[in-house]
Amino acid sequence: MKRLLLTGFICLSFLQISFGQAYQPSPENLAARQWFQDARYGLFIHWGVYSILGDGEWAMNIQNIPVSAYEKLPKFFNPTAYDAKRWVQIAKNAGMKYITLTSKHHDGFAMWHSNVSPYNIVDATPYKKDVLKQLADECEKEGIKLFLYHSHLDWHHPDYFPRGKTGRQTGRPESGDFEKYLQYMDAQLTELLSGRYGKIAGIWFDGWWDQALDEHEKQARKTHVDWHLRRTYDLIHRLQPAALIGNNHHVTPFEGEDFQMFERDLPGQNTFGYNTSSVSQLPLETCETLNGSWGFDLRDQRYKSPEQIVRYLVGAAGRNANLLLNVGPMPNGEIQPEFVERLEAVGNWLKTHGETIYGTRGGIIPPQEWGVSTKKGDTRHFLHVLKKPATNVLFVPNFMPKVSSVTAFEGKKPLKFKQQSEGLFVYLDGVAMSDWDTIIEVQTK
Ligand code: H79
């Protein structure tokens, strides 16, 4: 009997270890999720020693640069034009509510003053100043929240072993202790979250997929190493309970995560093949770049127009998601003027139309051929018409709550409507249609 009990106990403990305990987000964390969803628009910043090469943040891997050569880069990193105040102003003028900065990308270089490794912005560059600290202080002053992008994957650390799919040509010895690497990663996260940088709104992980060697494994959410995700997540939540954890693993969220992200796709879309996971109940965020690159790329001229960005932001809001829009500042620390102009133009649009985006949730009807909808509370609905319907009648299928009025958002002109069992018909006569987004406000009882 005793033996049976003991076996039962061992089995139960095993089950608990293998499936993990249910994660209970703290009240601060739940409040932060509401704030995050209300915010809707943030600035993603990819900046690191790779910026010097003007060839994106994957240069080390794509150009097969060995660690010993790549380690020369920090010696050239002297961003004399870096001005945290200016960055935060750019984000604010753009109508953004938060910034997500790369604390460490796949190249392993720390953009803050780390005590765990000298491979960091203060100890390894002629600049010698903590760029993260400057940004954190400025964000705090200006009421902009700060998230950190942190790479699981590391092309520099010797103990990132076994190697995954990438970073195999960086000349590291074919040995290493993965647990030691994880301890290092957790120690660096502890530095970032222990108060020196104030409140960190969240950690944005990337690189988990490096250890899922094929698509089949990825879909099964299997990797060749144990990332001990839950251990790291619990550490983060212990240090800062409100910090929101997201992980760009492109699979269904794991226990302990607070939001779900989509890379270069709106939730439910899968343009590049990364976004095969289903859309969860967690707060959602989609990230895109202003041109075609994340880190600074000298040749990249594929700038998106303000109109494209507005339509993407609206598309995200209509799918209940935030947009995290990326810029890759230049190695001197400046955000290039082509980005600043476009961000400002979107910011101007938001000054007059932001009411239909900020503080909203995805509307009560799914995306339509003509566009999407958002809602504020239970009685204000915004129809965002992104494609002019063929006739002057806009059909909103299955729109059930009783409508009391319909108006054109711009000019506040009352519009004729008809509500039937199959949905709502709005007559667009006299509405000035915009190529960006024509907004119709529907008030319900
Ligand atoms: O941080 C950004 C990317 O570096 C990272 N996630 C975003 C937020 C990312 N990791 N992997 N991917 C994106 C997808 C991989 C794309 C690749 Fe390529 C295609 C890697 C090599 C070829 C794009 C083109 C990136 C480098 C060259």
The ligand 1 atom at the shortest distance from the C-alpha of residue 106 is 4
pLDDT bin (cut points 50, 70, 90) of residue 267 is very high
Q: Is 438 left (phi over 0), alpha (psi -120 to 50) or beta?
A: beta
Q: Is the CB of 263 under 6 A from ligand 1?
A: yes
**Residue 333 predicted with pLDDT over 60:** yes
351-374 pLDDT, tens digit per residue, is 999 999 999 999 999 999 999 999
**Residue 19 predicted with pLDDT over 60:** no
**Shortest-distance Cα residue to atom 14 of ligand 1:** 274
The ligand 1 atom at the shortest distance from the C-alpha of residue 206 is 6
CA separation, residue 417 to residues 157, 373, 443 (Å): 63, 17, 12
The ligand 1 atom at the shortest distance from the C-alpha of residue 274 is 14
Query: What percent of the chain is modeled with pLDDT above 90?
Result: 91
pLDDT bin (cut points 50, 70, 90) of residue 20 is low
The ligand 1 atom at the shortest distance from the C-alpha of residue 46 is 1
Q: How far apart are CA 36 and CA 246, in angstroms?
A: 12
As a whole number, mean pLDDT of residues 107-111 equals: 98
**Whole-number CA gyration radius for the chain:** 24
**Residue 421 predicted with pLDDT over 90:** yes
68-98 pLDDT, tens digit per residue, is 999 999 999 999 999 999 999 999 999 999 9
381-420 pLDDT, tens digit per residue, is 999 999 999 999 999 999 999 999 999 999 999 999 999 9
Q: Does residue 336 contact residue 283 with C-beta atoms inside 8 Å?
A: no
Q: What is the pLDDT of residue 276?
A: 75
Q: How far apart are CA 363 and CA 292, in angstroms?
A: 30
CA of 369 to the centre of ligand 1 (A): 31
pTM (predicted TM-score):
0.95
Q: Is the CB of 297 under 6 A from ligand 1?
A: no
Higher pLDDT, 183 or 18: 183
**Residue 1 predicted with pLDDT over 50:** no
Q: Which one of 204, 206, 272, 288 would you pick to mutate in the ligand 1 pocket, going by the greatest count of ligand atoms within 8 A of its CB? A: 206
Q: Using CB atoms within 10 Å of the CB of residue 136, give its burial: 0 to 12 exposed, 13 to 18 middle, 19+ buried.
A: buried
As a whole number, mean pLDDT of residues 21-38 equals: 97
**Residue 113 predicted with pLDDT over 50:** yes
**Shortest-distance Cα residue to atom 25 of ligand 1:** 58
Q: Is the CB of 57 under 6 A from ligand 1?
A: yes
Where would I find the beta strands (DSSP E) of 91-210? 98-104, 145-151, 202-206
**Shortest-distance Cα residue to atom 3 of ligand 1:** 294
Q: Is the CB of 292 under 6 A from ligand 1?
A: no
214-246 pLDDT, tens digit per residue, is 888 888 899 999 999 999 999 999 999 999 999
Q: Is the CB of 55 under 6 A from ligand 1?
A: no
Quick one: which of 105, 56, 37, 87 has its CA closest to 323? 37
Least confident of 2-11, 100-109, 247-256, 422-431: 2-11
Q: Is the CB of 58 under 6 A from ligand 1?
A: yes
Q: Is the CB of 265 under 6 A from ligand 1?
A: no
The ligand 1 atom at the shortest distance from the C-alpha of residue 61 is 21
CA of 102 to the centre of ligand 1 (A): 14
pLDDT bin (cut points 50, 70, 90) of residue 9 is very low
**Residue 13 predicted with pLDDT over 60:** no
Q: Which residues pair with 317 in a beta bridge?
A: none
Q: What is the pLDDT of residue 14?
A: 44
How far from chain centre, in Å, is Cα 85? 22
**Shortest-distance Cα residue to atom 6 of ligand 1:** 206
**Residue 18 predicted with pLDDT over 90:** no
**Shortest-distance Cα residue to atom 8 of ligand 1:** 263
Q: What is the mean pLDDT of the chain?
A: 95
288-325 pLDDT, tens digit per residue, is 999 999 999 999 999 999 999 999 999 999 999 999 99
CA of 279 to the centre of ligand 1 (A): 22
**Residue 16 predicted with pLDDT over 50:** no
Q: What is the pLDDT of residue 10?
A: 46
Q: Is the CB of 56 under 6 A from ligand 1?
A: yes
